[in-house]
Chain A
Amino acid sequence: MDSTLNKVPKKKTIDLFEPIGEAISNFRKRFEDGSLGTKLSHFIFGAGNFYHKQYIKGAIFLLLQIAIILFMVLCPSINGTPYGWKALYNLSLTHLHEGGDFDPMTGEFSIGSDCKLIILFGFVTIAVIIIYFLLWGMSISSSFKADMDEKIGKKPTSFIDDLRELLDSRFHITMLTPTCIAALVFTILPTIFMIALAFTTYNSQDMNDIGTNLFHWNGLQNFRAVFTGEGSLGVEIKNRFMPVLGWTFIWAIFATLSCYFGGIILALLINKKGLKGKKIFRTVFIFTIAVPQFISLLAVRNLLGEYGPVNSMLVNLGWIAKPIGFLGLHPGDSENLAKVMVIIVNMWVGIPYTMLMTSGILMNIPADLYEAARVDGASTVKMFMKITLPYVIFVTTPYLISSFVGNINSFNTIFLLTGGGPTYTGYQAGGTDLLVTWLYKVTIDQGSYNTGAVIGIFTFLITATITLITYRRSKAYNEEDTFQ
């Protein structure tokens, strides 16, 4: 084999401190070399822009600075929970009041602290502070750039010029800003919030029991519960964590591989030379992709249910005496049967998808490879094992990884088919529950947000490890920009 193919490109070591050091020396340089406006910009946003007569830009910077400072000082509040410095002060969760005291002056009951909002708003405030410092940097560098322009005899850019730049050399800023803001508010902030809950005592059922709305930080106690079994859901976590984790892995492996190879075989069947009606067959299978999953899965669930046609047919044929609980919908049903059935039904869902995907790839395999093999007298099976499979696997490795990760997080299939059953008394996690469906039950049904967050973090750790290890080695990552 060509030796260059095996060469793994050298990984660039990412030095975390390099950009920070660079930034510090940059700041010094700008403060020393900059004009009076630039120096002032270190304290008043936009001062440098005013100095260079870029009034609109300066005004925007200044207004933003004033707005953020007002936000921090005045502490606007929603539902009695403040933002600003008070939010940071509250974040320790030690200055809480239960609320519900009657105030004879206003004739109303006082509003108690809302711990989840305190944490949420605390993080929003931290995000605002980070934005403040980003604006600070932008304000200084904008002024410094104008200094430099002036030095070489150019006029500092006007506001219109800046706007025009946003459509050209800095177009990426225009294009990425909406996504960055949306991702910050609706993905990053919520994720950090949920991670934080893993270190608290936030369990709404427990809190109801002792009649409080308040919770506190409790360090790593929730993570320890996985081994020690302490806390309200501790027994569940301790006894069910390993079985659920194990099944999640088994499920992900079988679900991925069965759909993958099933799909390849189906694609080979449909694309067989001389077969007529290829389009009709393809359409039949695409049908199941097009039908929304909650419809097709609930249909299968009822079809296989206690009173459904499948059970009654088997009873009528005399093969079974009474209906079988295929999907573990009742507590006494077989767990192993439910597991097998889930994997089989998942093939029904997943195979057409892989079939579609691999069809195109199969057609790309050079025909002369098969020709040569046929001349050498290779059998069909041998050609499949030696040519088709290696080629398809090579091309679709990224897909295999992402579908494995997708299966670890495959909520719909389990939730709609078995609901995690068969259930066991005293436990939330049933026989076919994955980490994600367990997470859902623990949080939405039980209100045990801290335990749910712990499960979520473990799920993330697993998927992240698998993805990072395989993805960073893959060609797709290392040679990402060589194709362009």
Chain B
Amino acid sequence: MSEIVTKKTRSRSRVQKTSLAVTYILLIVLGIIWLVPLIWIILSAFRCEYQADGTFIGTVTSNFFPKAYGLKNFQDLFTSTYYGVAKAFPRWMLNTLLIAIVDCLISTFLVLSVAYCMSKLKFKMRKRFMNISMIIGLFPGFMSMIAIYFLLKSIGLTGNPNHPANSVIGLVLAYSAGAGLGFQVAKGFFDVIPNALVESAKLDGCTNFKIFMKIILPLAKPIIIYQALMSFTGPWMDFIFAKVIIGADNAAYWTVSVGLYSMLFGTHPDTNLFTQFAAGCVIVAVPIVTLFMFLQQYYVEGVTAGAVKG
């Protein structure tokens, strides 16, 4: 009897072992598949190959691993003139950083204020406001993008030749103005904060403003970080809005994504720019990925809250 049992457990543990081994192999293979494109971009960024006649090879090549490595792409990236703008890449970086910071501040504030109202305050239009904001969210963003462009143009906040810098203000407005309607994730988070906390503070004579500042905000640190992370990384990733609003011929004020995209598909006379593009990608990706890795926990929390709440 006991022999049969040990046999059974032994066979089960063998099954478990093989299944664990299969899992390891699967995960490693998948992990490699997931990393290959990214590794390739990093390798391309450091590629430093020359043709026999001494010209630099900057295009896509068929070899995955470069034959020679170097920092030439990064040097070129930071010193070259693109689209008639000297040292364009550092300019684009700074410009994007500025836009991202302002957008982050405005968007986070708007999202938190709307989410708090929807979650913890009772008023007449609450449900209606939520329904309307959901319906608006269903329109494709590009539809309004063109109209926003005309609107900003009529008040001089697009890339007009006289005041090209104004387009940056226009872009920040376009990014952050609609942010308040994306309150659902934050609202889901606020819903979990017990109402009793708010009620008892009210009994103590706290105003709603004080409750928001002193009770809700300190508890909302994860969601604040999540929202800030999302709105900060937005401008680094978007390029359609940036391209339309800043304007295709206003290269000095582009964001970094528009600039990098134009290196591959633009009207630039030099098509030999793939490796420089790759170098630019590395420069952009490193800080953002680092930020993500540091704030991973908050990101996961936000994603999970969003999933369940919708």
Q: Which residues of A contact B (CB under 8 A)?
A: 78-79, 81, 116-117, 120-121, 164, 167-169, 171-172, 174-176, 178-179, 182-183, 185-191, 193-194, 266, 269-270, 272, 274-275, 281, 283-296, 298-300, 302-303, 305, 307-309, 311-313, 348, 352-353, 356-361, 395-399, 401-402, 405, 409, 411, 415, 435-436, 439-440, 443-444, 449, 452-453, 456, 459-460, 463-464, 467, 471, 474, 476, 480, 483-484
Give the Cβ gap from B4 to chain A, nearest Cβ, in Å: 16
Residues in B neighbouring A439, C-beta threshold 8 A: 140, 142-143
30 pairs, A vs B, C-beta closer than 8 Å:
A120-B154, A167-B208, A168-B209, A172-B121, A172-B208, A178-B110, A179-B110, A274-B16, A275-B20, A275-B23, A275-B24, A281-B27, A284-B35, A291-B288, A298-B264, A298-B281, A299-B40, A303-B36, A307-B59, A311-B62, A312-B62, A313-B62, A357-B304, A360-B304, A399-B306, A411-B141, A439-B142, A439-B143, A453-B143, A464-B135
Instruction: Check: B254 CB closer than 8 A to any chain A CB.
Output: no
Considering only residues 114-134 of chain B, those with a C-beta below 8 Å from chain A are: 114, 116-117, 119-121, 123, 126, 129-130, 133-134
Minimum CB distance partner of B111 in chain A: A179
Across the interface, do B20 and A309 meet the contact criterion of CB distance under 8 Å? no
Residues of B within 8 A of A444 (CB): 146, 244
Known: A175-B114, A176-B114, A484-B195. A309 touches B64 (CB 8 A): yes
Q: How far is the CA of A309 from the CA of B33 in the complex (A)?
A: 14
Known contacts: A194-B143, A311-B62. The answer to whether A187 contacts B310 by CB under 8 A is no
Select one of B26, B34, B139 contacting A287, CB under 8 A.
B34
CB distance from B115 to the nearest CB of A (A): 10
Known A288-B38, A311-B62, A436-B142; contact A187-B181, beta-carbon cutoff 8 A: yes
**Known A-B contacts A79-B154, A272-B20; A296 and B38 likewise in contact (beta carbons under 8 Å):** yes
- Kindly provide the distance from the CB of A296 to the nearest chain B CB, expressed in whole angstroms: 6
Count of chain B residues with a beta carbon within 8 Å of a chain A beta carbon:
100
CA distance A288 to B40 in the complex (A): 13
CB contacts under 8 Å to A, within B254-310, are 257, 260-261, 264, 274, 277-278, 281, 284-285, 288-289, 291-293, 296, 299-300, 303-304, 306-310
CB-defined contacts of A303 to chain B, threshold 8 Å? 36-37, 40
Grouping DSSP codes into helix (H, G, I), strand (E, B) and loop, the A interface class, with mixed when no group exceeds half, is: helix
- B134:A190 contact, CB within 8 angstroms: no
Q: Is the CB of A399 within 8 A of B307?
A: yes
Known: A287-B38, A399-B308, A402-B310. A292 touches B144 (CB 8 A): no
Is B78's CB within 8 Å of the partner chain A? no
B150's contact among A117, A399, A415, A440, by CB below 8 Å, is which? A117
Interface string of B134-161 (1 = CB under 8 A from A): 1110111111111110110011000000
Q: Which 3 A-B pairs have the closest CB atoms?
A: A398-B310, A179-B180, A312-B62
Q: Give Cα A193 to B150, complex, Å.
A: 10
In the complex, what residues of A have CB within 8 A of residue B237's CB? 292-294
Output the least CB separation between A451 and chain B (Å): 12
Known: A172-B121, A187-B181. A295 touches B113 (CB 8 A): no
Rounded to whole angstroms, the CA-CA distance of A309 and B140 in the bound complex is: 36
Instruction: Please tell me which one of the listed residues B36, B121, B147, B277 contacts residue A191 in the complex, with CB atoms under 8 A apart.
Output: B147
State in angstroms the CA–CA spacing of A459 and B16 once bound together.
Answer: 49
Contact A171 to B208, CB < 8 A, known contacts A178-B110, A179-B181, A302-B60: yes
Q: Taking beta carbons and an 8 Å cutoff, which residues of B are in contact with A?
A: 16, 20, 23-24, 26-27, 30-31, 33-38, 40-41, 59-64, 110, 113-114, 116-117, 119-121, 123, 126, 129-130, 133-136, 138-148, 150-151, 154-155, 173-174, 176-181, 191-192, 195, 207-210, 212, 233, 236-237, 239-240, 244, 257, 260-261, 264, 274, 277-278, 281, 284-285, 288-289, 291-293, 296, 299-300, 303-304, 306-310
Given A172-B121, A281-B31, A474-B310, the answer on whether A299 and B37 have CB atoms closer than 8 Å is yes
Q: A360-B304, A402-B310 are in contact. Are A172 and B178 (CB under 8 A)?
A: no
Contact between B147 and A193, CB atoms less than 8 A apart: yes
- The 8 Å CB contact of B117, one of A172, A266, A484, is A172
